[in-house]
Structure 1
Amino acid sequence: MPTLNWIGKEKVINHHLDVPYRVLDHKYSFDENGQHHGDNESDNKIIRGDNLEALKALLPQYEGKIKCIYIDPPYNTGNEKWVYNDNVNDPKMKKWLGEVVGKEGEDLSRHDKWLCMMYPRLKLLQRLLADDGAIFISIDDNEQAHLRLICDEIFGYNNFINNVIWQKKYSPQNDAKYFSDMHDFVMVYSKNKINWDRNLLPRSDEQNKRYKNMDNDPRGPWKSSDLSVKTYSPDYDYPIETPSGRIVNPPQGRCWRTSKENFEKLVEDNRIWFGVNGNNVPSIKRFLSEVQDGQVPVTLWLRADVGDNQEARQELKKIFSDSAFPFDTPKPPRLIERILQIATDKNSIILDSFAGSGTTAHAVLNMNKEDGGNRKFILVEMEDYAESITSERVKRVINGYDDIGGTGGSFSFYDLGEPLILENQYLNENISIDKIREYVYFMETKEVLSKNRDSYYLDTHNNTAYYFYYEKEKITTLNYNFLKTMKEKAENYIIYADNCTLSEEELLKYHITFKKIPRDIKRL
């Protein structure tokens, strides 16, 4: 398989492992009671902070559970003024930190920086994606070819689904130097192509109007379909006599699609159409009631069906009146709704780690209102407008804006908190014990800790009981006194503590694995 090399690749392939795990710091919630500081425990989240660190923070709760990911990363046009700020420990790359990425002629490392930025984020997104999930990535020609190669490397080239063409504008640019750019791409990869099953799209009224009922058939509207096929078989090449007495043979080099015996059954069942006067070449009737309830998605998405950049800008003006926005090419909710129709069910979790103006949440709320679903969204936005625009838009969509009624719903807003494990490898004592316990249990079992108890006992998983004997104010020791406090019965025990005075023979006797805090706490 072809691979892509660029400046800094060897430094970022495993950079996602070096990113510190930070806890999410709840700031406020929003629901039917408005904004308040209490935690409404909404499944919808908006996170303010660097998306690489935010994706790492989501792993303990969401690894392998995101059904659909949509991202709209910087296209790297040279006009976006994005900055490479990942703290990769390499002198060459440290020179990039804080520098605005410019045009190609001005910044010869522009594509290298973009790839270094995208690679670790895609690695974490791949981990978050469910085994039956898919990721949709908006991109244009500036990085489309590069993106395809690194996605082949991260997701596997066998998991490539399609490259959708989206008509992003209606009017051509007469001042374009070469061609007027009328489209973007939406690149689609699955986590595991064998397990990904896309949904059919709803049939349109225009499609249904093609079905008539010219003979008042009690089975309802139908349309005629060619009875002949290209694949020739002499057994299916026979003359047919129409009701008017005309003899009809299949076209030269073709044959009928069914045997003569089965054809007679179809005639008897009134499934063959010879025309109003009974003199036409026979065709087979396809009933609307019998066709599949939907249409297969295509790879060309026209603005009439899913909206364009102009529609998206007009939508933002409705939501925020005459405010100015830092978005030249926002995405319309209808574009994301098309993705949701294809790739989600009513209870799916949808992640957007380049949230921008919050279009993905808008689309999720619209879909839930339309079909009564309970889809959940997670947005990540690092820019200053994360609260003033991203979350504010979601509030107004929930409550209603302009002449559009509210969707209802709720969300919680978070900031990225402190690292759970400090650079000196000690636990951060500013982090709540509950958060630490949740992290330790996830790292041991890859499961979410369902309940935080008052005791040191975490939970039992696969016949192994987990204990985290930790106190911020004192040294803890695994000894016989602690064993006497243990109530849970299991085949095996994993116990974390600062020290252990039990011998190897005693640990073996009681089926105990001792793990030292913080040395033996696994790192994400």
Structure 2
Amino acid sequence: MSKETQFFDALRNVFIGEQVEGESGFVNLMHIKSLYYERGVFPRLQEDINRALERFPEFREEFFDRLYTFFRRYFSESGSIYFRFTPPHEHVYEQVYTDERDVTLFWKTHMLYYVKTDRLFRSMVVEIDGFKFFFDVSSLENKRSNEKRTLVYDFKERRDDATLVFTVTYSERGRQTNIDGVRRAIKNALHLNQYTAAIPSAEILKRAFRVFERQSEVDYFINKNARQFLRDQFNLWLYQYVFEPEQRQGTVWTEQRVRQLQILKEIAYKIIDFIAQFEDELVRIWNKPKFVLGSHYVITLDRIAAQDRGVAVLERLLIHPGMESQVREWQELGMVGEDFSPKEVWLEELKGKHLHERYQYLPIDTKHFPDLEGLILALFNHLDQELDGWLVHSENYQALNTMLPKFRGRVDFNYIDPPYNTQYSEIAYVNHYKHASWLTLMENRLVVSRNWLGSQAIYCISIDDVETAKLNQLLELVFNGWEKSFVTVVHNQRGQQSKNFSVVHEYLYFLYPDNERKYISDRPRETSDFRNLRDSGSESHREDAANCFYPILVKGNKIIGFGDIPPDDFHPPAANEEKNDVIYVWPIDSNGKERKWRYARQSIETVADKLEAVITSKGVQIYLSKELQMARTVWYGSHFDASEYGTKVLKEILGERIAEEFKYPKSIGLMEETLQHSELLQKGTGLVLDFFAGSGTTAHAVINLNREDGGQRKYILIEMADYFHTALLPRIKKVVFSDQWKDGKAQDGGKGISHFFKYFRVEQYEDVLRKARYGDDDVPLFFQDPYTQYVFLRDSKMLDNAETGDRIMEMNPANDEIRVDLSKLYPDVDLAETLSCLTGKWIRRIHPLDEDPTKAGVVEFEDGTSIDLQNPPWQFVKPLIWWGE
């Protein structure tokens, strides 16, 4: 193969990339790249090269060899542009150190946006033990972001040659392959009455599935500034190529040689400029504000009834046809029994009609009442301010970037528990870039989320040993000038076994602006007696932490020892039990409930000299010293245990089947303690953000703290996984209704809380790639210079829906008017929330349409401005659907 052919093949692969089957925005993307390359740049580039080399035919082979040598370093199989190929003999490609810093963090993908890691599936034949299987991925809808989804296999048919054909899809809402169902379908296709050797066994099917899944995997990135990156790298490469004596063996500087190198640089710059055109377009799509879609609200009955006209609205809800599906949801969530009737929410007494105490915190989900949602929202004069939380179903960068104008400077505590990059908590990056991809993912999201922080905010990150060193350096880069504290959390006394050490800890990074004011509170304390050793948290019952239930022995006013943990069936008669002049002080609260001490029995003796016994009118109380009250850099306690206080709590709330999806969910006890280390949150106010939300432990902790002290803390949770609907959303509904659960059922005596939150999804990068329309006709693509002009200026992007062909925008020159019909783009656009995020204005009221009260007519913002939702002004809609220059 000639150097010229080799170069153009490589360049073509950059634009066309791997051939991917199925339905995805990436397939659309590859089509667009191929189109612009084949019809646009390729013919023009060949002409320009031939013209430039006319005078130097002897330079042609070297010319293409050098271009190929340079460009092959920076392009991956997904078309991403970065330091892909860096052999050890090559020199450093860019200036790592700067004038401002003597040490800085460098990684291969630092100049990129991390999009996702996915497998490039192709339809293929697999043969196992005499059986032939064909896997059809033509209708596979590829992952939209980096959500965790498994493949589902459905038997389609048996061909005449005995090949068993399967369709392959990604799982939706927890759906899994039904092996028994597959075998039954094959049996029926063979018209057999019983299973025979002609039907593959379950093990053979699983092996075939595993073979199919061993297909190529690729990381998707977008270069933030491809033109600058490639030009910088080319200049360094050219310098090395020309002046390295061991490689050039002394360059003879003739006029001809100088002109040849000038041609090499000119053509390379033209290629770079065109490549950058496409990469810049992807950056625009990645960072464009996204639509808010599929919004609904969840509100407890008491919150509706408490508003003016609220009782009348609630009465309409209870007799609405949608109440049937709402009751069914309450039953599935374990809140009410099978015989429950909506009439039971009311109690008729002499003093009048009021909500039943047991049912007042039942959560209404407005998805069941689409025609009454506007009526419910109209009850509130300051809608956004009334909300207690927001649950967002989205890849987190897209949500953070889209919602930033609305929440800029408003977050008081940002907590995240990102993937630890271990076998139990990893994203399956392509192996040789595992750490670089993780750093890029984190850097992208840390940078944008920092802009959400208020002036007194704390940023808190959970991590373990695998990435802690790299995270520490990254935080120095992103939070330069901030104070940083490193907390070791001893969360697993049994330890995670390895050959050399038993790992019993993980870490928390606390970041805050400076040391000039107090951001970190003293050790979390009870509101009634802040130095009491007795823990009064909601997860503090004896059965939840038996090793924290024991007597402290007091004689006079001195602590003389600590008793053993009693059997489960032993219950002390009182908090203070006297035996032979020794008082046995038990962790029993003023209501007679068995609680726990803050320290486990195996840990209490290590802090014995920091405890104090005080005789009060209520008996002997045990206090912590001031030293123990301050926030410390080592935390330990059984209530931090992930298996005991993460998995166990999750199983009790959601049931075992759903809880099994989560490996080591965060302890609710640890989360509550973490949040209380914020001075602001401990006062009962503040907004908490968690954009790696998982099963929703952070919101659960916020709700628990509010339930305990009557606070008004709020939360925003962002989660992209499918379990947003199967675990996170149900969990929040459940813990709002009650704080007592067992096997997924609410228990008698549970305490609910008045609550109001919104949930929605955000348009994704993949959605845009699917719907964006780029030129595919025979009209010339370029009018002037294909390398530097904005070649996408003529494309309609999302003015048309590429999936359906519908026209989104209509122009009326006679009236100087542009009208958009966004329902032709997405059927469930929440335009009020979309515009709120776009403008940064909080919603005061949403006014229904006069002629159709079931539809939103006008959104009124807190600053007094309003926007017509049925005919929104073009200047507001344009950034959402057309991102041209």
Offset of residue 313 of structure 1 = 1.1
Please give the alpha-carbon distance, in whole angstroms, between the structure 1 residues aligned to 2:843 and 2:735. Answer: 33
Please give the alpha-carbon distance, in whole angstroms, between the structure 1 residues aligned to 2:830 and 2:728. Answer: 28
Distance change in 2, residues 1:164/1:407 (3 Å): farther
Give the alignment partner of residue 110 of structure 1, picking from 434, 443, 448: 434
2:653 corresponds to 1:319: yes
Q: Give the fraction of aligned pairs with identical amino acids, expressed as a percent.
A: 23
SS in 2 for 1:120: helix
The answer on whether the counterparts of 1:30 and 1:411 sit within 8 Å (CA) in structure 2 is yes
SS in 2 for 1:151: helix
Distance change in 2, residues 1:188/1:371 (3 Å): same
Please give the alpha-carbon distance, in whole angstroms, between the structure 1 residues aligned to 2:722 and 2:709. Answer: 34
The answer on whether the counterparts of 1:133 and 1:196 sit within 8 Å (CA) in structure 2 is no
Distance change in 2, residues 1:354/1:497 (3 Å): closer
SS in 1 for 2:488: strand
Instruction: Flag the structure with higher helix content.
Output: 2
Correspondence list, 1:110-509, <5 A: 110-156=434-480, 158-173=481-496, 176-195=498-517, 197-201=519-523, 202=525, 203-206=530-533, 295-304=629-638, 306-324=640-658, 325-343=660-678, 344=681, 345-400=683-738, 401-402=741-742, 403=747, 405-408=750-753, 409-417=755-763, 429=820, 430=822, 434=832, 438=836, 441-442=839-840, 448=842
The answer on whether the counterparts of 2:462 and 2:509 sit within 8 Å (CA) in structure 1 is yes
The structure with higher relative contact order (CA 8 Å, sep 6+) is 1
SS in 1 for 2:291: strand
Residue deviations 1:489-523 (CA, integer Å, cap 9, x gap):
xxxxxxx699xxxxxxxxxxxxxxxxxx769x999
SS in 2 for 1:197: coil
Give the alignment partner of residue 60 of structure 1, picking from 384, 405, 414: 405
Distance change in 2, residues 1:111/1:522 (3 Å): same
Offset of residue 342 of structure 1 = 1.2
The answer on whether the counterparts of 2:844 and 2:860 sit within 8 Å (CA) in structure 1 is no
Offset of residue 10 of structure 1 = 1.6
User: Which range moves more in the overlay, 59-68 or 396-405?
Assistant: 396-405
The one-letter amino acid paired with 1:327 is: F
The answer on whether the counterparts of 2:298 and 2:756 sit within 8 Å (CA) in structure 1 is yes
Q: Which 5+ residue runs of structure 1 have no aligned equivalent?
A: 83-99, 215-220, 224-287, 476-495, 499-516
Aligned counterpart, 1:10: 111
Please give the alpha-carbon distance, in whole angstroms, between the structure 2 residues aligned to 1:440 and 1:193. Answer: 34
The answer on whether the counterparts of 1:468 and 1:497 sit within 8 Å (CA) in structure 2 is no
2:366 corresponds to 1:36: yes
The one-letter amino acid paired with 2:677 is: I
Offset of residue 170 of structure 1 = 1.5
Please give the alpha-carbon distance, in whole angstroms, between the structure 2 residues aligned to 1:189 and 1:474. Answer: 41
User: Which range moves more in the overlay, 135-144 or 191-200?
Assistant: 191-200
Distance change in 2, residues 1:358/1:108 (3 Å): same
Offset of residue 32 of structure 1 = 2.0
Offset of residue 450 of structure 1 = 5.3
Offset of residue 3 of structure 1 = 1.8
The one-letter amino acid paired with 1:322 is: E
Aligned counterpart, 1:21: 289
The answer on whether the counterparts of 1:132 and 1:192 sit within 8 Å (CA) in structure 2 is no
Offset of residue 125 of structure 1 = 1.3
Offset of residue 473 of structure 1 = 9.1
The answer on whether the counterparts of 1:60 and 1:448 sit within 8 Å (CA) in structure 2 is no
The one-letter amino acid paired with 1:341 is: Q
Please give the alpha-carbon distance, in whole angstroms, between the structure 2 residues aligned to 1:497 and 1:389. Answer: 35
Distance change in 2, residues 1:457/1:426 (3 Å): farther
Distance change in 2, residues 1:5/1:410 (3 Å): same
Q: How many residues align?
A: 384
Please give the alpha-carbon distance, in whole angstroms, between the structure 1 residues aligned to 2:844 and 2:662. Answer: 40
What TM-score results when the alignment is normalised by the length of structure 2? Answer: 0.38
Please give the alpha-carbon distance, in whole angstroms, between the structure 2 residues aligned to 1:79 and 1:440. Answer: 37
Please give the alpha-carbon distance, in whole angstroms, between the structure 2 residues aligned to 1:318 and 1:121. Answer: 33
The one-letter amino acid paired with 2:636 is: L
Offset of residue 57 of structure 1 = 2.3
SS in 2 for 1:109: helix
Please give the alpha-carbon distance, in whole angstroms, between the structure 2 residues aligned to 1:26 and 1:192. Answer: 40
The answer on whether the counterparts of 1:131 and 1:195 sit within 8 Å (CA) in structure 2 is no
Offset of residue 432 of structure 1 = 6.6
The answer on whether the counterparts of 1:26 and 1:412 sit within 8 Å (CA) in structure 2 is no
The answer on whether the counterparts of 2:420 and 2:426 sit within 8 Å (CA) in structure 1 is no
The answer on whether the counterparts of 1:129 and 1:191 sit within 8 Å (CA) in structure 2 is no
Please give the alpha-carbon distance, in whole angstroms, between the structure 1 residues aligned to 2:861 and 2:736. Answer: 37
Please give the alpha-carbon distance, in whole angstroms, between the structure 1 residues aligned to 2:477 and 2:649. Answer: 37
The one-letter amino acid paired with 1:23 is: F
Offset of residue 124 of structure 1 = 1.4
The answer on whether the counterparts of 2:300 and 2:756 sit within 8 Å (CA) in structure 1 is yes
SS in 2 for 1:108: helix
Aligned counterpart, 2:392: 47
Please give the alpha-carbon distance, in whole angstroms, between the structure 1 residues aligned to 2:760 and 2:859. Answer: 28
The answer on whether the counterparts of 2:406 and 2:838 sit within 8 Å (CA) in structure 1 is no
The one-letter amino acid paired with 1:36 is: T
SS in 1 for 2:111: helix
The one-letter amino acid paired with 1:163 is: F
Distance change in 2, residues 1:66/1:470 (3 Å): closer
Please give the alpha-carbon distance, in whole angstroms, between the structure 1 residues aligned to 2:684 and 2:872. Answer: 46
Distance change in 2, residues 1:297/1:474 (3 Å): closer
Residue deviations 1:44-64 (CA, integer Å, cap 9, x gap):
111111011111122122111
Residue deviations 1:312-333 (CA, integer Å, cap 9, x gap):
1111111123225222211111
Distance change in 2, residues 1:424/1:451 (3 Å): farther
The one-letter amino acid paired with 1:356 is: G
Please give the alpha-carbon distance, in whole angstroms, between the structure 2 residues aligned to 1:306 and 1:518. Answer: 45
SS in 2 for 1:342: coil
Residue deviations 1:453-502 (CA, integer Å, cap 9, x gap):
999998979xxxx9989995998xxxxxxxxxxxxxxxxxxxx699xxxx
Query: Please, what is the CA RMSD of the aligned residues?
Result: 4.3
The one-letter amino acid paired with 2:719 is: E
Please give the alpha-carbon distance, in whole angstroms, between the structure 2 residues aligned to 1:183 and 1:435. Answer: 41
Distance change in 2, residues 1:424/1:167 (3 Å): farther
Residue deviations 1:400-428 (CA, integer Å, cap 9, x gap):
22347243223222111478997967787
Offset of residue 22 of structure 1 = 1.5
Please give the alpha-carbon distance, in whole angstroms, between the structure 2 residues aligned to 1:117 and 1:455. Answer: 38
Aligned counterpart, 1:73: 418
Offset of residue 101 of structure 1 = 2.6
Greater Rg, structure 1 or structure 2? Answer: 2
Q: Which 5+ residue runs of structure 2 have no aligned equivalent?
A: 1-100, 114-222, 226-282, 302-362, 368-372, 378-382, 536-550, 560-621, 773-794, 800-807, 809-819, 823-828, 848-856
Please give the alpha-carbon distance, in whole angstroms, between the structure 2 residues aligned to 1:432 and 1:323. Answer: 33
Distance change in 2, residues 1:474/1:310 (3 Å): closer
The answer on whether the counterparts of 1:449 and 1:459 sit within 8 Å (CA) in structure 2 is yes
Offset of residue 370 of structure 1 = 0.5
